[in-house]
Amino acid sequence: MNKRETLRGLYAITDSRLASDSILSQLVELALAGGAKIIQYRDKTDNLKRRCQEAQSLLSLCRAMQVPLIINDDVELAFTIGADGVHLGKEDDDIASARRKLGPEAIIGISCYNQFNKAISARAAGADYIAFGRFHSSTTKPAAVAANPGLLIRARKELNIPVVAIGGITPDNGGPLIAAGADMLAVVHAVFGQPDIRTVCENFRQLFEKPEKMPS
């Protein structure tokens, strides 16, 4: 799996508040069928046994579709199930520690919020992708700091690393973010909070197939 080629498209993030454990696999299967290119398992609860079982189930689905499974915030869980990588936030393990634990082939991403200097540092530390956001009002994280699309434009020009845009993104507002420089659109509620997950993922996929152009 070529990491650089893999890191483009819809990055669908699960949320335990939107899907009970009994239907999570079904919802992720719909997202994959609709064209999600990366799945992130995100569950902030402390039920380790259930989280491990859920993550393992999602890994099997993702393997069948040749789509990477990323674990949110939990390097140990990623290591235990053999996930494709981990996404780190502000309070999580540093990139070097995650790399030592997960190995050179693991995909390690990091949230940079609205801080370009953090993105520079993350790239230097060996991150495989960086994430900026929120770009729009977010249902998942309403208090998250706001980010400007100028970050994406600058990252495309100055950083040779895949870039994720996150925060309130929908098929209606995602196009300009791709045009600005986002390689991936990370989405929670606009995928797993919708009645027709497969169709909304297809709509996101089309944004990448026919990307908008930045105005000259």
pLDDT, residue 92, reads 59
Catalytic residue of the set 141, 154, 156, 205: 141
Please indicate, yes or no, if residue 215 is contained in any of the structural domains.
no
* Residue 157 is a catalytic residue: no
Domain with 142 in it: 3-209
| pLDDT of 1 above 90 | no
Q: What is the pLDDT of residues 22-80, one digit of tens each?
A: 799 999 999 999 999 999 999 988 899 999 999 999 999 999 999 999 999 999 999 99
The number of distinct structural domains making up the chain is 1
pLDDT, residue 101, reads 97
Catalytic residue of the set 3, 8, 17, 42: 42
pLDDT, residue 91, reads 66
Mean pLDDT of the 2-29 span? 87
Please indicate, yes or no, if residue 91 is contained in any of the structural domains.
yes
pLDDT, residue 147, reads 93
Furthest CA-CA distance within the chain: 52
At position 74, the amino acid (one-letter code) is: D
CATH code of the domain covering residue 133: 3.20.20.70
| Chain mean position to CA 66 | 16
* Residue 111 is a catalytic residue: yes
Angle at 25 between CA 201 and CA 109, to 5 degrees: 65
DSSP letters of 60-99? HHHHHHT--EEEES-HHHHHHHT-SEEEE-TTS--HHHHH
Q: What is the pLDDT of residues 176-199, one digit of tens each?
A: 999 999 999 999 999 999 999 999
pLDDT, residue 127, reads 96
pTM: 0.94
Please indicate, yes or no, if residue 214 is contained in any of the structural domains.
no
| Lowest-confidence pick of 9-18, 60-69, 139-148, 194-203 | 139-148
Catalytic residue of the set 37, 111, 134, 198: 111
pLDDT, residue 153, reads 97
Please indicate, yes or no, if residue 58 is contained in any of the structural domains.
yes
pLDDT, residue 18, reads 84
Please indicate, yes or no, if residue 50 is contained in any of the structural domains.
yes
* Residue 141 is a catalytic residue: yes
Q: What is the pLDDT of residues 84-139, one digit of tens each?
A: 999 999 765 699 999 999 999 999 999 999 999 999 999 999 999 999 999 998 77
pLDDT, residue 140, reads 75
